[in-house]
Chains A and B, each alone.
Chain A
Amino acid sequence: MAKYILKRLIAMVITLWFIITLTFFLMHSIPGSPFNEERATSEAVQENLEKFYQLDQPLIVQYGNYLKSVVTFDFGPSIKKSSQTVNEMLGRGFPISFELGIITLIVAVISGITLGVIAALRHNGFIDYLAMTIAVLGISIPNFVLATMLIQQLAVNFPIFPVATWSSTMHMVLPTFALATGPMAIIARLTRSSMLEVLTQDYIRTAKAKGLSPVKIIFKHALRNALLPVVTILGSLAASILTGTFVIEKIFAIPGMGKYFVESINQRDYPVIMGTTVFYSSILIIMLFLVDIAYGILDPRIKLHKKEGI
């Protein structure tokens, strides 16, 4: 186990380095620089600024410096908001984004699994069709469309929920709902098909032949096996929720990381772009790692380590 984790950690570091490198050079290949748009600055000021942010040095040197600062978890100062460092921005924005993301993930997982299980148990019945119709809608409607529809209907036409921002539980409902629907639909469909397949397995018949009650058969014998495929997609779902938060935060004016990120791209605020990318990539990589560990715990056939009986 320890050996496996060590191996994975090394792989994670390499992946991260790859992402940093790729983002760094891609970002610098975008035409334009942080200082040459709207306000015309004098040559001298521009040069000074570039010197301060080390933009005058060769790209490869900048790259080296950046790697060095990442290792110390220092993402440097923002170019556009010179009073702030990227670390401060992350510190302020990320907790909010994290809250939105985690709540969304939990809502999506719980409701998706419930919907999928019910649909499977009522296979080809009315509830099954209803659940799967909802699921198809959920998958096909983009979250930003859903978000605007929700605001229009449930905040403007019928002012049940606040229109925007993130300050109370009521404020959380619409953004979470808009963001969770897609992943929930994906989980529901996967759970349903996986559950249907598991229910035809021989070991379910064995459980019945033992005289177990349907509740025990479903929850103890079927669900766990049915959820294995769901666990495997959690990593990529978390990724899509993460990117989804950028859009949803923008629509609902939630002061999370998304706001800073979108602004930073528009303004070519290099340190902010880099910092956010690196930070979010790390989170994703850790998520994927945790998912694999969870899978290994759920499915004893997957060997994370070499210890094995005959």
Chain B
Amino acid sequence: MEKTLEVKDLHVAFSTYGGEIKAVRGVSFDLYKGETLAIVGESGCGKSVTSQSIMRLIPSPPGKITNGSVLFKGRDLTKVKESEMRELRGADISMIFQDPMTALNPTITVGEQIIEAIIQHEGISRKNAKEQALDMLKLVGIPNPKERLKHYPHQFSGGMRQRIMIAMALVCEPEVLIADEPTTALDVTIQAQILDLFKEIQVKTGVSIILITHDLGVVAQVADRVAVMYAGKIVEAGTRREIFYSPQHPYTKGLLNSVPRLDLEDDELIPIMGSPPDLFAPPAGCPFTARCEHAMEVCSRAYPFQTRLTEEHHVECWLQDERAKALLAR
């Protein structure tokens, strides 16, 4: 499959008064053309920082990409000039944020906010840009779009605003769309509508989507592949099937056990006890050690190697080591 984006060994740190927060500690993943990759994990595991680093949107200072690369169309985005990056943002890679209530400028009409993105990247006349904005509003299902262009964000409901954000992000036909918890702030029925919209648009435009969420229900609905993040690392990744039906990492299993599932009979919910490690001084070994029921001596000493189970499925856990398997088999 054709790769649109390759993230390799990405490290991001924030320097604060208390010390350096190592928010992302060696994240690698590929994004294929036309797929939806979900990144899941608890709050604070580095999902947003990872996605914002791709577009170089992390506030700097204090944030800094300390290592790694982001390859897009033969270029390393961590190294290109800021002016080149600006041309990419919104045109080749777009982003949608969690809270549609605050992500739109309250004093500018939504029409203008969409039109300015078009003019910025396509250099076409205002009139043509307006036509394009209108088509986009229709595509994302805003009723009465011609009137609506003239309205301000506060005149829309949360779901409608998120549709406008989607319209704005997609209007220049980007190849990659990063959606950071796009449905978290919305209620369930609206959430389902927005997810349907994502799928519909993906079929129409072939855009590759990185969907960030901590909601496994959302993942089950739209993701082709899933990457599970924990304490700044991707601890397991695979196709949606692989992750939901044969999870290998104890943390992934824990996540799955802590949400209600309709497809399994056993509906006893078991929350994961404890809390993630301090990212000021992340542990040398597996960061899940303190919370893992299978933790072994080696776990706290060294970080586990990556074990590749199938073409897409890989996991970083000492339980995959032959010696551990032998031990378990006894």
Contacts and interface: CB of A to CB of B under 8 A. Distances in A.
Contacts of B117: 210-212
Given A309-B151, A309-B155, A211 B89 contact: yes
Interface in B68-119: 86-91, 94-95, 97, 99, 102-108, 116-117
B107 A225 contact: yes
A52 B108 CA distance: 61
Given A209-B94, A211-B121, A221 B88 contact: no
Contacts of A203: 102-106
Contacts of B95: 209
Contacts of B106: 203, 225, 299-301
B286 to A, nearest CB: 33
B105 A209 contact: no
B87 to A, nearest CB: 6
A139 interface: no
B152 interface: yes
Contacts of B99: 202
A108 B86 CA distance: 36
A284 interface: no
Contacts of A300: 106-107, 152, 154
B103 A206 contact: yes
Interface string A183-227: 000000000000000000111011111111100100011001100
A202 B89 CA distance: 16
B169 to A, nearest CB: 8
Contacts of A213: 86
Contacts of B120: 210-212, 216
B27 interface: no
A221 B95 CA distance: 18
A225 B90 contact: no
Contact of B103 (A202, A225, A308): A202
A273 B168 CA distance: 60
Contacts of B151: 309
A300 B108 CA distance: 8
Contacts of A253: none
Nearest to B87: A211
A8 to B, nearest CB: 22
Contacts of A309: 147, 151, 155
Contacts of B147: 309
A299 B107 contact: yes
B327 to A, nearest CB: 49
A44 interface: no
Contacts of B216: none
B57 interface: yes
A220 B97 contact: no
A206 B94 contact: no
Contacts of A301: 106-107, 152, 154
Given A208-B57, A209-B95, A225 B86 contact: no
A224 B107 contact: yes
A213 B85 CA distance: 11
B108 A206 contact: no
Given A202-B97, A212-B120, A207 B154 contact: no
Given A205-B57, A213-B86, A216-B120, 12 more contacts: A201-B102, A206-B97, A206-B105, A206-B165, A210-B89, A211-B90, A212-B120, A221-B108, A225-B106, A301-B106, A301-B152, A309-B151
Interface of B: 55, 57, 86-91, 94-95, 97, 99, 102-108, 116-117, 120-121, 147, 151-152, 154-155, 157, 165, 168-169
Interface of A: 201-203, 205-213, 216, 220-221, 224-225, 228, 298-301, 308-310
28 contacts: A202-B102, A202-B103, A203-B105, A206-B103, A206-B165, A206-B168, A209-B55, A209-B94, A209-B95, A209-B97, A210-B90, A211-B87, A211-B90, A211-B117, A211-B121, A212-B117, A213-B86, A216-B116, A220-B116, A224-B108, A225-B106, A225-B107, A298-B107, A299-B107, A300-B152, A301-B106, A301-B107, A310-B155
Q: Which 4 A-B pairs have the closest CB atoms?
A: A211-B89, A211-B90, A210-B90, A202-B102
